[in-house]
Amino acid sequence: MNPTAPGNDPRLRPAPLEIGTSVAELIDHAFLGSTAGALAQATRLLTDRVLTRPGTIVGLTIDATLIPGGVAISTLVPLLQGGYVDWIATTGVNLFHDALFALGLPFFPERPDGDEPVELCEGDVFLRRSDRQLGTDRLREILATPDFQSPMGTAPLHDRLGAHLRLREKSEGVEYPALLSTAHELGVPVFNPAPADNPLGTLIADLSLVGNRLVLDASSDLNLAAALLDLAGPEDQTAVWCLGRGAASNFALQAPDHLRTVLAGTRATDYAYRIRMAGRGHPLPAAESREGPTVIDLALSTDLSIALPLMTACILDRVPPRPLKRLGARRDDLIDRLRQDQLAATLARPAPKKG
């Protein structure tokens, strides 16, 4: 709802805020300026169009460093539990810190007392060096188990890691499950398009030197992302919501081109909706002109760790929970379908003219 005057009068006529105003009402009635208005526009697109269709497949990419501040548990987990996000691509740094949350290791909103060395994770969020090392050692133990002794994409890697972390959460008495353990339980694929740039990737490389047989397969990740796009039927749609710029958003935005190649250009393959948001100091490129998808590019002059919880609160308030698609559990079937569609597209391709 836009607080504009009735009829053809284009003026804004916002109503004063009242005690008890909800987050959704706040966004509707007070987010009217350039930055706030763009945030409200993206929120309304999600709540009024993207998420109202239960069959729409929604991906979320996260290049901003958000998880050390608790955004995964406070904001991302509810999005998964409500069926509002069907797959995720994010940086390995986010996933490493999420795993430390799952292992029950403490993060602090200010530098903890004492002389023990600490490291700054995000903004003013701190982690003791000794806790980081303890978490690294525990993750090393997990990655050395038989579940991780074969080549695989990052989606099955994170699914198996989430299973182990969920067991640790229960044994450690962790009150709220982390992102990876929740994604495992709900069947939400989690991709990391640049696994070599973070502590998890370092662990995997280190273990390979002592005989660990885990090798990450980027091709299988891209094929699975294309298969998720290929899954949408005539009545369904696909959407991608990008937070920040980097490898995760590039991975998601590359998937339609890959699917187009796989299907030999026999049908349109782009997302129906693309919402791209960048934080302060990270402007987006000029909006692309593409036929078909609805593209909203937002260069927000605020922190995405502020924008995401606001938008999530509005989604939870306005959109009923959607059926869980459990795409991770359907991974093999999705790849088989992609192969069949590729074969059909190849057979339907006109034979090259001789001479």
What is the C-alpha separation between 102 and 73, in angstroms, rounded?
Answer: 10
**In which band, very low, low, confident or very high, does the pLDDT at 248 lie, cut at 50, 70 and 90?**
very high
Overall average pLDDT of the 146-156 stretch = 97
Q: Summarize pLDDT for 98-108 with one digit per residue, the tens.
A: 999 999 999 99
Mean pLDDT calculated for residue range 224-253: 90
Give the tens place of pLDDT for each residue, 77-87.
999 999 999 99
Q: Which fold has domain 33-343?
A: Deoxyhypusine Synthase (3.40.910)
User: Is the CB of residue 50 less than 8 Å from the CB of residue 292?
Assistant: no
- Cα–Cα distance, 14 to 216 (Å, whole number): 53
How far is the CA of 173 from the CAs of 103, 176, 177, 273, in angstroms? 10, 9, 10, 40
CB 148 within 8 A of CB 160: yes
Beta carbons of 83 and 145 less than 8 angstroms apart: no
Q: Which among 343, 323, 330 is positioned nearest to 82, based on CA atoms?
A: 323
The mean pLDDT value of the chain amounts to 89
